[in-house]
Structure 1
């Protein structure tokens, strides 16, 4: 009926397959968001008097996700037992819409059309080392002194370059943080582990360092200085009718960040 009304062939048909024509692909691309909105509205109306259900597909980085987001899961499942989590821990930026994710948590995502980012906390980078490494060494007073120490640095898998940071203090002064490339890895958790082992100084996100700082396994160097890596956000599709499961999770994780005081504890401005 649709093909007849449009006077277009939308499908290529055979006895074994049914595929879209080029015109069909264009038509699907044009109406997809509207169809999803309609389906969301129907689901919202039909589930208005019942518990929220469905699969909640979430993407996040392994280190941050396992340390902070995964421990919130028992409470979320107690509140919403009919929602089934499908959580992926991966070091990459996913395409929420194309890959069928409900949400993603992280930083540095490209805000493509139709995606909303809700800031949860700041991602500040700090310099850390183990007490055993610092024993007998003079701690630097500002970022320029870091070059005298053994650096544990990260090479970007995307660009192939060593990540460099520009540090600042609360007064607004800025200095480059140049580390001697003593050890090169490609993963933030490996940088942290190497620092805990006493192999040198690493520039890592404060959330990644925080449990080890609190246990005394790492020490923060030049505590008046930090680098800003942008916000930690939760990303989700901008839809007129956001699925109930997604809306509930966005609210839930925002509450968890405030309850645990993570925005304050993750801030590199607090030495």
Structure 2
């Protein structure tokens, strides 16, 4: 009977299209995955892949074999994982990707308590403004928004990703608060250029009644990072469109003012991404549960909701 390792190496290589990608998924070396597949081919007496220096493709027999396995491999892995992780203590490297500002302001403070509870876990946290490939890059989890859901990856929404208009008290001194987004046309804009598309991001704001209006900020300052936008706003250089968590501490202290408290732009959701729930290692399950509980306990979904204008400090800028 074939070992689970041989079958898993075959299935993941077929799914990923290469031994190297499968190796990253399985935490093995490419050579080990190739050996497992070669052993499987030798044992069943059938060639399963066409191999070349550039490409790995299934043979006709390989396609039939993959279809015949179907979901049986995942079901078997799930059964083994369920039994194995029931008594497993969370341990090992926990590789997580998260946006810098959200991560440092709201996730990193949870680390002391997490490590006190799970001392055998070694965090490797990457603070980065990009959508990582969890499987190919070997991440246990990621926090962010707009990720493509690869096979075997799930998304657990944590909070809304709402964008609001903010400015410093010094910038708003002597200026009148706008009544709707059209009033932003006379303000200096602190805008962000996307590293992915190369375009300056434009927003459409909405109110509780569902009315939508574009944000006509003048392109006065352009940066490529939300934290830089916030710092420029704190310096009194203009109005920035920021995700609520990127500005929440400054709003709560009064260092920034929320303009248009009844208007916001919807950028989707802040989600927690990780592998299929049934196959989670104990360290990842501990992290997922900690994040869900922390967001619930600290009411972060409510505090991050730009649609609930009164939950975020918006002191009058006309004082």
Q: Same fold (TM over 0.5)?
A: yes
Unaligned ranges ≥5, structure 2: 1-38, 50-54, 310-319
Rate the CA distance shift 1:165–1:51 in 2: closer, same or farther, 3 A: same
Of 170, 176, 182 in structure 1, the residue corresponding to residue 208 of structure 2 is: 170
The answer to whether the aligner puts 1:198 opposite 2:211 as a matched pair is: no
The answer to whether the aligner puts 1:156 opposite 2:156 as a matched pair is: no
CA distance in 2, matches of 1:138, 1:71: 37
Once the two structures are superposed, residues 95-136 of structure 1 have per-residue CA deviations (whole angstroms, 9 ceiling, x without a partner) of 111111111001111222221110000011000000001111
Helix, strand or coil at the partner of 2:288: helix
Give the structure, 1 or 2, with the largest relative contact order (CA under 8 Å, sep 6 or more): 1
Does the 8 Å CA contact 2:89/2:282 hold for their aligned counterparts? no
- TM-superposed CA distance for 1:3, in Å, is 3.1
Once the two structures are superposed, residues 201-231 of structure 1 have per-residue CA deviations (whole angstroms, 9 ceiling, x without a partner) of 0000011111001111100111111000100
Residue in 1 that maps onto 2:110 = 72
CA distance in 2, matches of 1:184, 1:124: 20
- TM-superposed CA distance for 1:4, in Å, is 2.0
Does the 8 Å CA contact 2:141/2:273 hold for their aligned counterparts? yes
CA distance in 1, matches of 2:111, 2:81: 24
Does the 8 Å CA contact 2:82/2:278 hold for their aligned counterparts? no
The answer to whether the aligner puts 1:135 opposite 2:154 as a matched pair is: no
The answer to whether the aligner puts 1:145 opposite 2:183 as a matched pair is: yes
Residue in 2 that maps onto 1:2 = 40
Does the 8 Å CA contact 1:61/1:89 hold for their aligned counterparts? yes
RMSD: 2.7
Of 242, 254, 279 in structure 2, the residue corresponding to residue 216 of structure 1 is: 254
Residue in 2 that maps onto 1:14 = none
Q: Which deviates the most, 118-127 or 244-253?
A: 244-253
CA distance in 1, matches of 2:247, 2:167: 10
Helix, strand or coil at the partner of 2:130: coil
Runs of 4+ in 1 over 6 A off after TM superposition: 33-37
CA distance in 2, matches of 1:108, 1:8: 41
TM-score using structure 2 length: 0.75
CA distance in 2, matches of 1:6, 1:23: 15
Of 302, 307, 311 in structure 2, the residue corresponding to residue 264 of structure 1 is: 302
The answer to whether the aligner puts 1:189 opposite 2:227 as a matched pair is: yes
Does the 8 Å CA contact 2:142/2:273 hold for their aligned counterparts? yes
Of 57, 76, 94 in structure 2, the residue corresponding to residue 56 of structure 1 is: 94
Higher strand proportion (structure 1 or 2)? 1
Rate the CA distance shift 1:50–1:227 in 2: closer, same or farther, 3 A: closer
Does the 8 Å CA contact 1:40/1:242 hold for their aligned counterparts? no
